[in-house]
Each structure stands twice: as C-alpha cells, then as structure tokens.
Structure 1
Amino acid sequence: MNDRDPRSGEAPPPDPRLLRIDALFEQALDLEPAARTALLDRETADDPSLRAEVEALLELAASEAPQLQPDAVREGPLLRAWADAHPQAPADEDVSGRQLGQWQLLQPLGHGGMGTVYLARRADAEFQQLGALKRLHMTLGSREFLHRFAQERQILASLNHPGIARLLDGGRDEDGHPFLVMEYVEGEPLDRYCDTRRLDIGRRLDLFVRICETVAHAHRHLIVHRDIKPSNIVVTRDGEVKLLDFGIAKVLGDADAPLQPMTRTAMRMFTPEYAAPEQVAGGTATTATDVYQLGLLLYELLCGQRAQDAGSGSAAALERAVCEIEPPRPSQRVDADAAAARAATAASLRRRLRGDLDNIVSKALRKAPERRYQSALALAEDIGRWHRRRPVQARPEGFGYRGWKFVRRHPFGIAASTAMLALLVAYAVTVTRQANAIAHERDRAQAEAIKAQQVQALVLQLFEGADPTLSGGNQLTARELLDRGWQGIERELGAQPEVRAELLDTVGEAYRQLGEYDRARPLLDSAIETTAALATSRPLLHARAQRSRGRLCIDEGDYDCADALLLQALATYRAGVAGPDTDVARTLEELGRSRFHASDLAAAERYHRDALAMWRQLHGEEHADVATSLDNLGTVLRHQGDYAAAEPLLSEALALRRRLLPKTHPYLARSLSNLAATRVNLGEYDSAEALYREALALMRQSRGARHPLVALVMNNMARLLQAKRDFEGAEAMLRQALEIRRETMGERHPEVAMNLNDLGLALAESGDPAAAEQYYRQALDAYPADHPWRSATVFNLGMLAEKRGDLAAAERHYRDALERQRIDYGEDHERVGIDLNRIGIVLHRQGRMDEAERSIRQALTIFRKRLPADHPRLALVLVPLGELLTDRGRNDEAVVLLEEALKLRRDAFGDDDARTVAAAQALRQARERRDQ
C-alpha cells in the first residue's frame, strides 16, 4: 500500500532542506569537535539558520537519549518548525467514544511510540467483533511516519500465521490520523503469563521455540519485527502465543522509494532495553537484529532479569550499554524469587542454566551480527538439541576474535589487570618450565612455544574481565574471570598432552577453590585421563593430577576415592625424592584431611603430625605452610575432645597467618573459625563470637557469599548462637548455610546432612519438635549409610522421643548412637560422655536407679577429663546426677554437685537464664530434703 498525501493523492517529494540538514548532521556526528566546527564553517557559511538547525541536532544527540525523551525531541528547532506547519492534537488525548470508520473506540489499551491502542467494537450491523485499534500519534508526525504507518498495514496484511495478530481493517479518520485495526488478543504478556503460573524452564522454552517459529515466518516474508519484547508477546488462555506490533517492522528489499528520515537521531525507533547494537549505532536492521532480541527475551525467560540496562543516561551511555558491555550469563543472575517463579530452587536453577543454555543465550547476544545464530530457526533448533540432550551448536566465542577486540579497545587494560591473577600466571608458567625440563630435547623448543601461547591465551582471557565494558563498570569476581577465559580457550588447546594436563589441573583446582565442584570435576577427570598416558615418562605430572582430583573427592564427601588417589600420588612422590619434599608434605596433609572428614581421627592426627614435621624441616617455624599444618592438627585434636591441646596450636596458627598473609586471605578466616569453635568448647563464648564474626566477614570477602566455606563458618557460628539461646538467629544462619551447601554439594553430602541435623536441633530447642524430626530424617537420608556423623542425628531422634515421653525409644536411639560413637571416637570422647549422660537420665525416669547412676558417673568422669573445671557444660551432667542422688536420698552428695552446677551456670549465663533457674530449683529441692 503506497502512502498518499490526502490533499493531492500523490506521494509528496522529500524536502531538500531536510535532506541537507540530515546529511550534514550525519557527517558531523562522527567528527571530533575541531573537525566538526571546520565542516560547519565550510558548508554553512552562507546559511546561518542551516548551521543553527544542525548544531541543535548535534546538541540533542549529545544530551539525554532523545528516543527516551520525546518532549525533548519535539523542542528541537527542526521538529518545532514541522509542528508549526502541521498543528495536531496532543499525544495523550483520549478519544474514547469516537467512531473511526466502522469502529467505535471503547477505551485505551496502551500507549506506544507510534500511537495509542484502543479496544474497539465494530459498529456496523453486519456482525459483532472486537479489535485493537491503533491510532497514530501525530505529535511526531512526518511523511516518514505516515509512510511507516501505511507500511505497517501492508506488512500485517501480508502475514498469515497463527502466532501473529491478524490485520482486520485500516484507514484514516476525518482529521487525517491513520489507524489500523488488529485482532484483539485476550491474554497476558509473556513474562507475566510464565511467572504467575510458575512455568519451569522446559515449558518456557517450549513457548520460546514457538515464538522463534513465528519470527521465522515473518523473516521468510522478508519482514523484520525489530521490537521483540515480552510486552509485544501475548499468551492466550488456551496457551497460544501471539506476536503483536509490527509497527516498526522493516520490509527487507523494499522496492519503494527509500524512506527519508528527518534525522537519524530523532527517528530511531526501538525500545532501548531490547535494542540490538546495530539499532543503537544507527546501522541496518536485519534478521540478525531479531535474533539478538530473541536472545534478550530468552535471557529474561530463563533468569528473570534483563540482559542489558539502558538506564536513562546519555546517548553515549546507551550505546556503551548495548554495544560494548557483555551481560553476565543467565546462571549468574538467578535469585530466590526468580527460581521460585520457575518452580525451582536457586541452586537447581543455576545448575540447569549453566553450560549449554548459558552458551545458547551468549551466542544469540553476540555484538557482531554475523557471529549470532544465522536465523531464528537455528536458535530454535539449538533449544531442541538441548531438550534432546544432544550437543548444541553454541560455543563460547574464540579467543582470537575476542582477544583482538579487547586489545584494540584497551591496550593498557591487560597490564593493569595482570596483578589480579599474578599467582595463577606464576603457577602456570612454573609448571610449564618444569615440564619442559623433563621433555625430550628434540621437542623442547616446540613444546615451549605452544605452552607459552596457551598460557598467554588463558591469562589474556582471564584478564579480559578488567575491561570495564565487559564487567559493566564493576570488578569481576575470580569465578567470572575463569568463566570468561577458560570456556573460550578449552577447545583451542593444542594436541600437546602436557600443556593440556597442566592447564586442566590449574583451572580445575581454581574452580575447586571457588566451590564450583561441578565445573572442577570434568576438568580434573580429564587431567587424570590425559596424564595416565604419560605416567611412565611424566610420573610427577600424573601424581599431581591424582592429588588434585583427590582433593575434590574430599570436598564431595567421597573419602574412599580420595584415599586411593592420594596414596598413589604419595607413593609416586616418595619414589622420586630422598628427603623432605614439598609435594610429599602436601599430599600427607590431604590424606590427613580425608581421614579427618571420614572421622578416622587417629589416622588423621598421624598424617598431620608427619606433615608438620616435614614442613618444619623444609621451612623452619615462620612459614605459611607450617601455619596450615598447625591449624589442621589443632582441628583434629579438637574433634578428639582434647581442647586444651588444640587451643594453643590453633592460636599459634592464627598468629602466624596474621603475620605472614594478607589481611583478606581466606586462610585467616579458616583459622579464626577453627579457633572460635575450640573457644566454644572451652566455654569462652564472647571470644568465640568475636572470632566467628571476623571469620564470616573475611570469608565472604575472600571467597564470595555463596562459597561452601562460608557455609561452614555460618554453621559453626549457629551452634554458638544456640548455646547462647539465640534460636532465631541460629535457625536463620543454618538455613542460609544449607542453601549454599545444597547449591554447591547437592542433596546427598555429609556436610549437607550435618547442616540438616543442626537445623533440626535448633528447631527442637526452640520448641518445634515436629519440624525438627523432619530435618533429622532428611539428614539420615543425606548421609552415606556408614558415615560416623549419622550417630549424632540418631542421638537427636532419641532426644525427641524422650521429650514425647517414649522412654523406650529414647533409650534405644541413645544406645545405638553410643555404640557407633565408641567405635568412631573412643571410650573417653565427650560425645560418648553425652550419650552416657542421656542414657542415665532416661534410666532414672524409668526407675532403674543403679544403672542410671553408673551411666551418669561414667559421663561425669569423661567430662571432667575433657573440660576445664569452670566449663558450664559440666553442669549438663552435674544437674541430672544431683537430681538422681536426691531421689535416692543421698542429699548431702546431691547438694555439693548442684552447688557446683549452679555456680557454673550463673557465671556463664546469669541468674535469669532458664538453665540457671533449673539448677537453682534442683539445688533448692535437695537442700529442703536434706534439712527435713
């Protein structure tokens, strides 16, 4: 349909002066100020008003983005002149009630860049029909707008697809305002439809594929939509998807005379938050533009966040936000609300988006159009491959392309960012040189060159995060740096197995340290596989891969796997050296860590003592490795119940680390937490809380808020809060820790189970036994069948049974826990004492006095051996023993014990604490019976 002037019936010719202004504006826009002034001096010397028009447009382009501020555009001299010549109604005038052609306007449905949309009813007598009538706002009216509006009618009339709202009618009203009537679609915008129904990722992707197929239909008709966004996509009650508003669509290969814009700046037509880079830069819109906008739509469907933030800044800021800044991956933008709207937890949603879906979105959102998916159907087909668990076509962009773009934009950024990961570079370079020293001389030069290239490539991509256009002006985390760098270079690694093994091990270990176990595992497995073929010629390289994978086995709770790998690595290292060796000491340390987590505390102590002796031989006393070994050994002793021996080792480790390490080093946080736990065991609660709070702040700062070591500190601190009767604070902290652990470790892991147990304990002590039992049962399901920590949960189930009055069940649970804990911890461990104490209490309540007294006295012997004389936990045994002796008529003995218990609790908790009140009441009863 051709646009005609309503007065002449002919298409009006373009205004030569407007064309001249636009041409000068286009030339001047890309020039530096001096060159721009020279151009205007030369071209407008005889026409000051022409210069004024161009300068006004240039000023407008440098100010707030005009496409976001239509009032500012209207105030420009060029458009003001047009408005003077074409008086019109205000843009926001509500003309409800008027009749346009055969259509009666009922009410506004919405306002858009080109017009207002009304709900309309066909007013003739032939049939009843509702439609969505769009009436053009003439506030920005121009010949181009009139042409565009006529073009929209032709576009919609040519499209016949169930996913596109049909054109019903069109024309002009008596004032000359163009309008067209489209099928009225009742439904909800796509994003609201998905969120209110809590559609999971699979169902959202099904809808998205249908949208891609609709867009592909338009592309086959040589039509580009150019404004794909959630509000332009409606889902009906029947679940049908309708794509609306081809109002700014462009016909590819339009044979008509080209449209003549007033100015490029004033007439850019797009929604900034959903604009493609070529739209913002004033380039040509193609099918790749729609692919980019489909990528923006997919990003929002997956994680609930917009990929790009246009803000309300200048045109330059908008161009930077859209054309330069790479959005974070969808998996990095997940929060709890978004996950709930997708019927998932934050952890499970992150895991599902990670990898292929992240890569699919990234490919659709590449800044260069030619590097995106070739079509909307190609994007839909990759989603289909993901659904079928087949390899997808999307891969991270190669290093060569991104590296060239980065260096060109920021030649000095690489040098500045090098300091951020200097240790990683030094490590990679060092192991590369060691490998070359062992390699055959014939291949030495070639291997050196390849390794240097690969290390350089990895480092450059890791440091690319220093580019502020990629990080949005923020410093990227170490995890984000690794994600950007490693995924781009992994497939570019050469055929050199030594290079591959070293880089796989280095990056896999980095991910492990970050708590990204799912990402570390395939890298470290690949390193094992790669070095296995080199075990004869490069045994130390294979041992290193075994040790790294063994570390990850410990983190994942597979201690048999860890022991097997670490023992093999230890044998290899010992075979290659004669005396004290760093690798031997480090492997001993990891074996001690594995045995500790498996609760084989005797073996753990032995390994850690051997490691400490070797570190002292290698370094003396003042060294960070010595501090680590002290910390490990002290932690083992604490778990053995030897708090008096553990405390000085842990204090020494912390003091060493404070002297030797940076103030933000994560090992400081670990020392603080371990020492705090021991201070809790020793009853020094105020000191322990201060240490925990410092540890938590430092661990969050150094590791990130979602790291499993943060969860470890939170779990330990929650136990302190429970001891101080702050059950609400303890419960909140335990829930946060549990979320982090499930996210990083999965559902079945000893530390997840321990966290569930502690949460149940907090709920039990705060008065919610039903909820507590649920968490205890979940903990038992999460533990491996023979894990030693299970006994603590069995004991806690006994506590619940005792509170319910089911003394037989309570005794059974306590005895089961006692049997296992004697095996795991020995006869005189504090945990054994706790079991004996509770068994004695239950026996007392059953009237089995002799058995009860024997059990409680055994517990008191263990407590006095393990705890200082002024420790308040002694009262846990002193009070029930005093009550038992009172009931047996041995009141003098009871009073002595209860007086000791009251003093301990009063000193620790004050007179008003419930525990102190209970001890005072028991003492008062014993005294009354004694004095009778």
Structure 2
Amino acid sequence: MNWDRVSELHESCLDMPSHQWKEWIDKQCTYDEKNQGLDTMVLKLLKSSSKADAFFSSLHKNIDEDLGNESEEILLQPGDKFDKFRVAKEIGHGGMARVYLCSRDDGQFEQQVAVKIMKMKGNVEFLKDKFRQEQQILAGINHPHIAQLYDGGITPEGYPYIVMEYVEGQSIDEYCKEKKPGFIELMRLFKQVCNAMQYAHNKLIVHHDIKPANILVNKEGNIKLLDFGIAQVIYSQEKGTHKADSFTGTLKYAAPEQFSSAPPSVESDIFKIGLVFYALLTNKHFDYTKVAEGRLESEIRDAIQKVSLRSGTIGGLKEKIIREDLTAILSKCLANEPEKRFLSTSEILHDLQNMLSMNPLHSRQPSMSYSLTKRYLRNKKKVWLVTFFNVALLIALVFWISQFIQTIKEKERAEFLLAFVFDIFESADPELRQGATVTVVELLENSIEKIDIIENRPEFQSELYHSTGMILTRLGEWKRGGELYYKALDLHHGFPDSRALQISRAHLYRDIAAYHRNLAETAVADSLIILAIDLYSKNLSQIDPKDIASAWNIKAHIARIDARAEQGLEYAEKSLEILRLASDTPSWELVSAKANMAAALKDLSRFDESLQVSREAIKIMELLGAEINSTRVMLVENYAIALGQTGKTTEAIEVQQELLDMNRRLYGEGSPTYLITLFNMAGNYYRLGEYHISDSINLMLFDVYMEKFGPANNYTLSVMYNLSNSFYSQRKFEKALDFQYRVLEGDRVNFGDKHPFVAGGYYSLGLTYMELEEFEKSRKNLFKSLDLYKESFGEKHHQVARVYGRIAELYCRLDDAANCSRHFDRAYEIAMDVIGEEHPITKAIINRMEFYEKLLSAI
C-alpha cells in the first residue's frame, strides 16, 4: 500500500466536513487503489482519529471532545505582533498547525523562536488546564539533541500554541541527500537520535511521531529532535488517558500495533527509529505491509546488500560483518510484534557501538565463529596463526578469567558495603556524638548523605538508595522512601541492559508500585506493577517464583483499594497458583499468599471463607515450626482483623494480645509493627463500644508517634483519624473536628491538595458539620470531597457513591425532597454499577434511602 498516498488523502480530508469524506475519497482513488483497499484504510483512519487528537499534540489526551468542529485558524503576516513576539515569516504549515519564525519584541533580550499555532480551537479554560499538565511533562526535558520547549498557552480566541527553540537546519533525510555523509558520520548522527530518545524514555515520555521531518541537523552538524507534541507519559495510559479508538502520528511512520489502537509505547518509538534508520541507509521507505510472514530478516538483508557503506576504511570481511550486523539491528527494531523489539534505545546504542568497535551484538544469536571473527577484526594486526588447541585453550582461559573477575567483583562489593555500613554506625556512636542518641530516621538520613557522595559506583548507589527507601517506607516515611526509590531508578536507566539488570529493575518497579499503592495513587501503582510483572515474566528461568508471586500480591492489593474486590481475589489466587506450581512443600511464601487471599475474601465480605483460608495458612505455618517472622505476624494480624469483621471481636482481641507478644519478641515494643497491632486492637475495642479503652490506646499511640515521627507522618495521621472517628461516634463533635482538621492539613502537606486522602478529610468534616447542624459548612465540605474524588477516580467509583449518599442525607435534613431523592438515586446507581448490592457501602446507601423515604413521607 502506498502510505504517502494514504497520508496525502488523510490530510486533505481533515479540512472538510466529515459527511463529505466518503464521496470525495471515492472520486480521488483510482480503480487499482480501491482494489488495494486504500480508500477503506483512509476512511478507517479518519473515523478512528478525531481532529483534536491529531491537532494539538501537547493536548493529546482525549481533548477531542472539547474542541470545536470549525476549520478556522489564526493567520499571521510578517510584522504582526503575537504575545511578546514579532512575526518574521511563516516557516511551515500542515493539516494540524502553522509554524512561524518570531523574534522577541518586549525589549528584555534578543531571541528567535518558533511559534506553532494550532488550527483548531476549543474551551479556553479546559485547554489551559490540559496545557499546564503537558507543560509539566515537557518542561523537564533538557537535552542537547532535543529542541527546548519554552512556553505555550491558549490565545483569547481559544487556539492552543507552543513556543519552542528555533532550529536552523535541514531534516535529516534532506541533509543526507545533500551532504552524502559517510557511513561513520551517519552512525554518529543516528547515535545522537538514540541518545535523545533514551533520555526522553528515561523521563517516562514517548515521542510517538518520530520521522525524518522531526529530526533536524543544525549548522554544527548535530541532531535536534523536534515536536514532542504528541509525546505521552508512558504510564498515563493506565489512568485511562489513551482513547482506544484514536490514531495519532504520521501514517507513513506508524508502528503496526497503532492500527490496532494500541497505546503509545517505547516499543512503537523503537519501530519508528528503525524505519528512519532504514530510510537513511537505503534511501527507501520500508513498507512492512508487503513483507510476507517469516521474511522480515531476508527482506532487510537484501536491501542492506545494495547499500553503499561510503567509507574507505570499510571493506572485505569487515564490510560483510557490518552488513550482517545492520540486518540484525534493523530486524529487531522492525519486528512486527512489539515484544520482539529492543527493550530500550540504550540497547540499540550498545549494539551500534559494538558494531563499530567489532564487538558481538546482543541482538544476534551468539556463535563461536561470529565471536572469533569479531575478535579477529578487532585485533587482526596482532593475530598470529594459532592451532585449534590454542584456540580452545584461549577460550577456557577467557572463561576462567571471567569467573575470577566476577568473584573479585563480588568480593569488592561485599567489602564496599561492609565499609559503608560500618561508616554509618560509626557516625552514630554515642562517644563520637558526645553522648547524644540517634533515632533510626536520623541514622538513615545520615546514610543518605553518604550515599549521595559515593563516586564512580552507580550500581552500589542505586542498590543503597533502594534498600534505604525500603526501610524508610516501613517506618512510615513514605514520601522520603519514595524519593530514594526514584533516585535508584534514575541511576538504573544509565546501566547497560542485561538479564540481571531487568530482574533488579523489576524488584524496584515492584517496590515503587507498593509505595504508590500506600499513597492510594492506584493508577500509577498499577502501571508500575504491570511493568514489574512483565520483566519477571521475561526472566522466569532466572528468578525465584516468590518474586513474581509478591508482585501479583501487590496487584491484588491495588485492586482492593480501587474497590475491584473480585479482581483482587483473582490476582491473589494467581499469586497462590504460581507458588503451588513451583513447589509442593510448605513455605513461608505460601503462607503469605494465603494470608493475602484471606484479606481479599475479607474485602468481599466473605468473612467465613476468609477465616477458613486464614486457618489453612495457620496450619501450614504450624508445619514450618515455631519460628516467629514477619510472614507469621502478617498472617496472624490479618486473621485477627477477619475475626473482628465477622463480629468475633473478643476473640480477635485475644489473638492480638498473643500477636503483641510475637511483635515484642521479634521487633521490640517500640517497633512500628508492635504499634500497628496496638492500633488494630484499639479498633476492635472501638467496635465493642469500649471507647475509653480504644481512646486510651490511640492517645498513647498519638504521643509515641508525635515524638518519633512528628504530626505529618502517616502513622500519626492514621491514629488521629481513628480518634476523630471515635469522638464522632461518641457525639463529641468539637473534639472530632479538632482531629479532622489536623488530619486534613497533614494530608495536604504530604500529598497535595487534590489527593483522595484529602477528599476523605473534607468528607469527614462534612459529616461532623451535618451533625452540628451547620448545614452550609457541611454542604461545602461534602461537595469539595465529591469534586476531588471525581477528579481522582472519575464518576464511577464507590467513594463517589458514598459522598452522593451523604449529600442526599443532607438535603433530606433540609427537607429538600427533590434533591434528596435525586442524589440518593445517583448514589444507588453508581454503587450498584461499581461494587454491587452486597457491598457494605451499597447496603448503607439503601438503608439510608429507605429511612429517609419513610421520614419524608411521614412529614
């Protein structure tokens, strides 16, 4: 199929009403084009890509619903003033936008920029919000081979625009046609493209429109990558921002999966990089639709054989090997299935460097002859004729040396880590600190300072950041722990890819996912845990099954937080299945999986089943012996919670008293896990209505957490939240308000103004003010809570249903029967759709509906 022709027709149609498309395309297409299905393809693409999706790339995320259907645009002439710029000339236009060369006109300093003004307009306030979101992503890009984004906004008429660095140069294909660079020079340029893309991918951004026109070569002969316009954050698709039936980008340089509505990805970027590389080498476009199944490599090989490498230093055997290497690299880039492509652009860079330095490629099947040929080409001036025996001896020697070096590296690593730990604890020595004691958090903060200044050991730095982050998150310092996780991840992206690195990165993604789960940022958490599971799945033969099982456990927990209880149970069962297939023998990992499954059943209100699974786990635990460890503690904790939820509160308290003894022996009385058990025990006393005991425990915990962690720590806030609930239940509303405001302020400091925890804070205030009959304050807080929950989760969420139910109750108390009925109907509709009739929230809504219906009918 002629993709240039498809692109030409597609772009022409963008400027006409949709009802005219079919008739116009039918007239334009020849008989042969119709036989090839070209007219059908154009119509399919037009229907699957809204104009708005294709136009303002920085507002790519489903902005089409808010854009108008007019084809108006702003036309500027040389000399016109636009914002703080004076227009010099138009330098380009297409179906999406016009681009103008402008100079700064406010007298502050001289500057030339390119201003891109979109042809479509829409709701100004909506577009401003969307632009600010995208600007936060793109403003962080600062790379010598990426054109800088300076500014942007929305004109008063509603037209989006962006201000970017003006790059004076030629597109890379035009540059190659005119300058005819040699092979080595072409490789230099292409490596710059890969470097720029790897930088963006490390920032979790995909370009999504890589093509020669967006790759310029400036006057200095260096690359500048343009138009991150339809760039997307890699993980944003998990938040529902990718529209399944949308198509964006350039048709000629589209990856196969884009025609199946796949979201943007690193893999699709890699495919486009391959298309550009192929076109620069062969001066032809690679049309993968014409390649028969299984013929990809041979088609590429045939094309590469005709390429002139244009270098006097390449010839003979070396040229033959380079052609084979180019075939391997392009075949991996252009694989039809995304999972068969390079994992990252850093892999492409490594293979390009290996090709030029005559080292074996990772993308080629290893073989003795290939490795020896490469070695010969690297060292042919020094190579002497050797016998087969000497070659075998050399191979054995190389193997032995590699093992020895590995042993040395492990020894160095152990010595380095031991010295590091000794240094940390030495700094905490009371004698050195003149008698002052050091808290655990202070000790960790001291260690972070030392990690920051480690030089020339990025692997160790990453490992130490990761480990310290894990400890801090377990101490409740989630925000600080998360910062260290991301420091470790930043270092990770600079390491050469390997199996070991993939597994290490999977561990890191898993722990970062758990961190975001703790913050109730479930969309981000789910995206990351999927990445972890994917990496584990690619390396199943190299990992312990408990690693991937733990990842499924986290995914189950995320689903439970989102009130997707059935999926939570499914993922928990998946974790259990992996461990059962791996081994029939009892293990602590099996106990952990059972415990997680029991928690999922508890969330489904299937308390009897939850207790049964907990008992099964306890039997396995008994077979393992009397060892007290973290898994035993977690299981018994969940078992106690399940007892409490099934009304067996007294029995739950007895189990928790035994659990306190376990925690004391394992961790000590001041440990977070010991205090968590006390926290849960207080909850059971609260259920029994023994508020004096629950309040005493919680107030003691409050004092401990305030001293250990301060007022904004998550543990401190959780205790204050429980105290506010207890005082609310005792109708001590003024005391409840005091703690509710403290919790709200702490959550705003920790998580920002729009977090679901903050929405929960406004919800609690709304209920308390309702009981105080301060109905206007109640209304403001409840609607604030509703807006934040909807912004975080969308309309269809159990928390949204819960708030609608309470708003309905407020209107009922105000004798506003119409609003009362309307909001109860909405609450019931959402709850039934999202969580079903048996969920406690749905039952509570139904009970309130029935109560207030009787009350209002009696008035």
Superposition TM-score tier, normalisation by shorter sequence: 0.3 to 0.5
Q: TM-score, normalised by structure 2?
A: 0.46
